[in-house]
A = this chain, B = another copy of it.
Amino acid sequence: MEDSRFLLACRRMPTDRTSVWLMRQAGRYLPEYRALRERYHLLDLCRHPELAAEVTLQPLRRFPLDAAIVFADILWPLAALGIGVSFEAGEGPVVATIRSPHDVNRLPEPDESAFRSTGEAIRLVRRELPRSVAVIGFAGAPFTVASYLLEGGSSRTYLATKRFLLRHRAAWERLLDRLTDLTVRYLALQVSSGADAVQLFDSWAGALPPDLYRSAVLPWTRRIVRQVRALGVPVIVFSTGTSGFLDLVAETEADVIGVDWRIDLGRAWQAIGDRAIQGNLDPAWLLAPREELRKAVREILARAGGRPGHIFNLGHGILPETEPDAVAVLIDEVHAWSARTQAE
């Protein structure tokens, strides 16, 4: 059984060309996704494995991507703690808010049946795709999920989160313990269902100063990384806004560090040391004229310098305003240019 290009890159092994997948490659920029969303609620897509699998596979039918990432909402596993999520039209997610240490103490034992649909979706997707395409499972990292719980949704300042963390440190740690436990179970289920790798989204970690990241976030993320790696699959830790402390993000012991576009890829790779790196095109570039887009892709590949262990991706999710054709151009440029330069 041949390993996929993507999995080789996770282990920093040489490949014939640079592998590429894109965060939110299954999403609103695709007409076929929007068509499904006209018939089904977002949470229905998470709830029904065949729908989640269908959405996961949509971009793979269009583009020669090196990996599929299972479709689910980042807050979906909270259902196992009895926490419902809703979506107001045009707004981000709305969740029940944790306001006090008491609210943390009252969280129930997780009911795993609530998130089994994601495992089943992975099983369906893995069956459909050739081994050359990796299937990535994912979950939110504890800080980012905690921030939704404490803010009650998205935020610009993360003030409720920081206030709780600064004033109720013991309760904060209990909350992260609970989310860590939940996340390990959720990811173990995904791995046993066929996920070839796992990405932890710590999208909002960059809201914190490095000292607080080190003491109040990193140990929990690392605990998850260790437990998932022990299952035999590589782990990607992705964050944004962390250009100033990527060395700490690398201390999560993830195989691959996903970086945003706010730092030169070469510099970021230097900061994380002996790890694979994933990134880091600004998603806005997909709205640029096509020749400019190709040029921006080549600049990132040039910074990776053909070293094994670079997985091409955006610095965050594809914007809904993106034309699917631009995605085709990006993938073509990654594969064609890296094949050419790696042959030299």
Contact = CB atoms under 8 A, between A and B. Distances in A.
Interface in A235-263: 241-245, 261-263
B263 A163 contact: no
Interface residues on A, range: 35 or more
B162 A284 contact: yes
A64 interface: no
A287 interface: yes
A225 B168 CA distance: 44
A219 B163 CA distance: 39
Contacts of A323: none
Contacts of A209: 261-262, 282, 315
Contacts of A159: 284, 287, 319, 321
A282 B213 CA distance: 13
A241 B166 CA distance: 22
A206 B211 CA distance: 21
A288 interface: yes
Given A156-B156, A157-B319, A162-B282, A262 B245 contact: yes
Interface in A149-167: 156-159, 162-163, 166-167
B287 A268 contact: no
| Copies of this chain in the oligomer | 2
A103 interface: no
A32 interface: no
B211 A299 contact: yes
B163 A287 contact: yes
A205 to B, nearest CB: 10
Nearest to A206: B262
Nearest to A243: B244
A306 interface: no
A280 to B, nearest CB: 8
Nearest to A209: B261
A267 interface: yes
A208 B287 CA distance: 14
A292 interface: yes
A242 B263 CA distance: 8
22 contacts: A156-B156, A159-B284, A159-B319, A162-B284, A166-B284, A167-B289, A208-B262, A208-B282, A209-B282, A210-B263, A210-B264, A212-B282, A241-B241, A242-B262, A243-B245, A243-B262, A244-B244, A244-B262, A244-B264, A244-B267, A244-B268, A245-B264
Interface of A: 156-159, 162-163, 166-167, 206, 208-212, 241-245, 261-264, 267-268, 282, 284-285, 287-289, 292, 296, 299, 315, 319, 321
